[in-house]
Amino acid sequence: MKKKGIYKMENSTTEKLGLTPPKFTTKQCVHWGLASFGGAMISGTYGSLLSIFYVDYLGLVGPYAYLVVIMSIAYAVWNALNDPLFGFYSDRSKSKKGRRIPFMRYTAPFLGLSFILVWFAPISPDKISVFWWMLVTTFLYDTGYTIVFLIYSALPPELTEDEQERNKLSIFASFFSLIGMILGFLIPDFFRKEQGIFPLQMAMIAVGIVGTLFILYTTFKFKERPEFTKVDEPLKIKDAIKYTFKSKSFIVLVLANFMSVFMQSLIIGSMFYLADYVTQSSTILLLVAVFVPLILGVWITPKLIAKFGVVRADQILLTIGATGLLLITFTPVTIIYFCFALAGIGLVGPLVLTNVMFAQVIDEDELKTGVRREAAYFGMNAFITKPAQSVALALPAILLTIANFVPRNALGEIQTQTHPADVDFAIRAFMGLIPAIALFIEVLILQLYPLKGEYLTKVKKEILVLHDEKHAKLMELEKQQKPDRNQQ
């Protein structure tokens, strides 16, 4: 008898048990991607607008740049704590409603509300009050985003063991994420050109609500697999941390991912600077240059994986992306768009393939510990990589202050720069040179990643066997519970 959503029993054998992992239809993959779309609208807007909103529009630069640095340090500390905290809690949850989806569903409205509040900072010459508003609201926002998308990232490795199916979910999530991220640039770019910030604030309310609704929709279209909640006995936190950091695969991957997160945060947060002060053109032209190759590249990744494997495909794409970013630093303005297109091709790697590799790491860990711990791994990944976002937030403020950057006036009008060449190079540095160096380092780090070749094939086979054993235990537990319920 077939059990829908768990395993399909077949006559042919897979490692003597004849099991195949769950498969997903295109419709299901679209449903999965919609949460990514909603989240990317919110996070794309947040990432693209936060730096320029507080530094350029609200004046936290020059003598007030230290406030952005302080905020970035505090933000890094909170980021380092909240992700593993929520990750361990989710893995240990024994809730009858599930240990993943309920957290995602009930936190989504809080995420939308906290995102909206970020943009209602007081417009005041008192920059300390602006700083405190930025600090508190970004903490609230990050808490909501952490819970929702920590769970979202943790679900695919748990939903299916098949790497092609995981890759399929990742591709659809990446595709919809790119569409949402494009809107995350276009919406604020359109409304920030209006006089005053009230139209922008109204647009942020709409983004928060719409993004939340898409996330909620996905939570009603998927169900968790109960064997990991009912059969697995969670590790104690001390043991969970020990086993996590004993994994060479995890250490290598998380160090590589630190470079990706740092690069992505810098580029997303710097796009408006590049358009306003370097190319002096519409942000749309830059978006087209980088996102069209990204969107096309997403659908090419399966062929690259088939030919080179996940790790090698990622290294090839990272090298292409790093080359494009490096060229941005030195090329004339007219060539920048070509450089962006080259970078866009390469940035597909970290966008699509990183979570596929995390699923491999989690499979390997489950074979060693006997426990499925996606949220703990994604939480500890964030513990290490989230500080990269804080560095990326502080870096433009620091470099622009060194370059004697002059922020726009109260009406949002760009001011004449006293040192235009210095400002130009500073923006090119944190938009091109620095993230390019990060990606070249990532390529070298991934040389040490052990989950490839015959060893990876062995892990894939053994995890199917282990999950069948867990499913059998679940069926036995449910049989034992039925007489108890009948007696009641």
Classify residue 199: in a domain, yes or no.
Answer: yes
* Helix ranges, 370-452 (H): 374-402, 420-428, 434-445
pLDDT tens digits, 112-135:
999 999 999 888 778 888 889 988
pLDDT tens digits, 212-241:
999 999 999 988 776 666 666 777 777 777
Q: Which residues contact 456 (CB under 8 A, 6 or more apart)?
A: 360
pLDDT tens digits, 19-38:
577 788 999 999 999 999 99
pLDDT for the residue numbered 1:
32
Q: What domain range includes position 250? A: 26-223+235-451
Calpha distance 444→187 (Å, rounded) = 37
Among 169-183, 289-303, 375-389, which stretch is predicted with the lowest mean pLDDT?
Answer: 375-389
Per-residue pLDDT for 453 more than 50?
Answer: yes
Q: Which residues of 427-457 are buried (b: 16+ CB within 10 A; e: fewer)?
A: bbbbbbbbbbbbbbbbbebbeebbbbeeebe
Q: Which residues of 186-217 are buried (b: 16+ CB within 10 A; e: fewer)?
A: bbbbebbeeeebeebeebbeebbebbbebbbe
pLDDT for the residue numbered 231:
65
pTM higher than 0.75 for the full model?
A: no
Q: How many domains does the chain have?
A: 1
Classify residue 468: in a domain, yes or no.
Answer: no
pLDDT for the residue numbered 286:
87
The candidate with the shortest Cα–Cα distance to 271, out of 201, 331, 326, 337, is 337
Among 87-101, 249-263, 310-324, which stretch is predicted with the lowest mean pLDDT?
Answer: 87-101
pLDDT tens digits, 353-370:
998 899 899 999 989 888
Residue 460: pLDDT band by 50, 70, 90 thresholds? confident
Per-residue pLDDT for 6 more than 50?
Answer: no
Classify residue 245: in a domain, yes or no.
Answer: yes
List the CATH number of the domain containing 122: 1.20.1250.20
Classify residue 38: in a domain, yes or no.
Answer: yes
Classify residue 460: in a domain, yes or no.
Answer: no
Classify residue 486: in a domain, yes or no.
Answer: no
Q: Which of 99-108, 354-363, 386-395, 439-448 has the highest mean pLDDT?
A: 439-448
- DSSP conformation class of 7: B
List, as own/partner pairs, every contact residues 473-477 make where C-beta atoms lie below 8 angstroms and the sequence separation is at least 24, other chains included. Answer: 473/227, 473/231, 474/226, 474/227, 474/230, 474/231, 477/230, 477/231
Residue 15: pLDDT band by 50, 70, 90 thresholds? very low
Calpha distance 373→84 (Å, rounded) = 11
Calpha distance 78→202 (Å, rounded) = 29
403 three-class SS: coil
Classify residue 10: in a domain, yes or no.
Answer: no
Query: Between 348-369 and 127-159, two packed helices, what is the crossing angle to 10 degrees?
Result: 60
Calpha distance 371→470 (Å, rounded) = 10
Name the one residue in this structure whose structure tokens are 């250490």. Answer: 251
Per-residue pLDDT for 18 more than 60?
Answer: no
pLDDT tens digits, 308-317:
999 999 999 9
pLDDT for the residue numbered 381:
85
Calpha distance 167→185 (Å, rounded) = 26
Classify residue 20: in a domain, yes or no.
Answer: no
- DSSP conformation class of 433: I
